[in-house]
Amino acid sequence: MINRKKAPAYKDAVEFDLKLKPYEKYVLRNGVEVYAINAGAEELIQVEWVFRAGNWYEKQNLVAPATNFLLKNGTSNRTAFEVNEHFDYYGAALSRACYNETSTINLHSLTKHLSKLLPVVRELITDAVIPESELHLYKQNNRQRLEVNLKKNDFVANRLIDEYLFGFDHPYGRYSRAEDIDALDRNTLISFYDEYYRNGRCVMFVAGKLPSNLNEMLEEHFGDLPLHGNETMPVIHHVMPATEKKYRVTNDPNGVQGAIRIGRHFPNRHHPDFFGVQVLNTVFGGFFGARLMNNIREDKGYTYGIYSYLQNHIQQSAWMVSTEAGRDVSEATISEVYSEMDILRNELIDEEELMLVRNYLMGSILGDLDGPFHIIGRWKNIILNDLDENFFYNSINTIKTISAAEMQALANKYLNPADFYELVVV
């Protein structure tokens, strides 16, 4: 019998032996790969179609996100209203999103209704018509949204720092402009849709309580489609960073806050330093108890929050510091960021702080493994970045074993103020 007067033994998160549940893999007859996690207590399912159709592949700015958004806005047989009404009727949610390299269609549903919903998703992939009226409304809404957002310093700062790091002609540095919205036309979107969706490259990720006939349903509705893509030379975009590294931009003469972005280039997940820098970044500014937060928020009171992070790109990446601070203390905030870099380069992290960060990171991973949707999300990240399960286990091993001396060496390699682009938008 459990003695409820005695507290259970305390256990650090670093003592957990975390395992990543393996996926099941199917390959449809047309070559489309399906990765599936069969788990969960509820009769729910998530199906995600991932296309190589991000803005990496567009020849005209904003074509990729516009095409992705308008996939759901009408087919030859259904209006936009009828498409949405169909999914609503079955209590399902169908969303879409466009990223730098990829775009997605994501379905959440009760497992029992999957057979009623897959035919309509097929219809969107093969027969979206992108009506002129829907495109007109999309352009109108985006012009209005852009006009409002350009008054916000943080929005302007996010656009400009990416342009400085990668160049406007690079997909990671490009952003929306009013003239780009106006230039969108239906024929261009239809052409992009035909090449990158109807005849594109697709990978599927499925998770939840899977029906026993899942493979048969996917074969029936998607196995005959030309979704394997053509093997062509990869699209190459060259990084063209700005030559100047320090920028001060006035966006709102009467504003009281400055949006601060400090960033540098950083290799992608395949680089051997990636795991160690993840730990170092957490110490620096990766969570609420990090050094940047303790200094600049808790001690100085310059900001409500400040964080550092590694951008989630596939090809190249960046290490970024982001905050909004009082206009009169923006320069002091930047000085304190560089001061924290200097401390990490010159002083060893003590064991107590390092153990706190180890436990935080392990706890975060544990949360990411809670439920089939989270598990397939982690697998999707691994697979789309052309990695394998060793990436997961090597990351855990680094969290548990990296030394203070190794982190100091990484700080000396990557946390040099001269390597960072610096921007304040007021």
Whether residue 231 has pLDDT greater than 70: no
Res 229: pLDDT: 59
- One DSSP character per residue, 210-261 reads --TTHHHHHHHHHTTS--B----PPP-------S--EEEE-S-TT-SEEEEE
Residue pointed to by tokens 């999707």: 380
Tens-place pLDDT, residues 62-104: 999 999 999 999 999 999 999 999 999 999 999 999 999 999 9
b/e 134-147 (16+ beta carbons within 10 angstroms → b): bbeebbeebeeebe
Whether residue 11 has pLDDT greater than 90: no
Whether residue 250 has pLDDT greater than 70: yes
Ranking 229-233, 285-289, 369-373, 374-378 by mean pLDDT, the lowest is 229-233
Q: Chain-wide mean pLDDT for the chain?
A: 95
Contact yes or no for 201/228 (Cβ under 8 A): yes
Which residue spans of the chain are classified as CATH 3.30.830.10? 24-222, 246-425
- Find the mean pLDDT for residues 16-22: 91
Whether residue 232 has pLDDT greater than 80: no
pTM: 0.93
Res 230: pLDDT: 54
Res 312: pLDDT: 84
Res 14: pLDDT: 80
> What's the Cα-to-Cα distance from 141 to each of 58, 66, 135, 187, rounded to whole Å?
21, 12, 10, 20
- Find the mean pLDDT for residues 306-333: 95
Report residue 247: phi and psi, to 5°. -135, 140
Whether residue 28 has pLDDT greater than 60: yes
Total residues found in the chain within this entry: 426
Going by C-alpha positions, the residue among 203, 199, 205, 206 that lies closest to residue 225 is 199
Going by C-alpha positions, the residue among 52, 34, 20 that lies closest to residue 314 is 52
**Strands 421-425 and 257-266, bridge-based pairing:** antiparallel
In the 8-state DSSP scheme, what is residue 7?
P
What number does CATH give the domain 246-425?
A: 3.30.830.10
- Find the mean pLDDT for residues 287-316: 95
- Give residue 15's pLDDT band: very low, low, confident or very high (50, 70, 90): confident
CATH class of the domain comprising 24-222 = alpha beta
% of the chain beyond a pLDDT of 90? 91
Res 228: pLDDT: 80
Res 167: pLDDT: 96
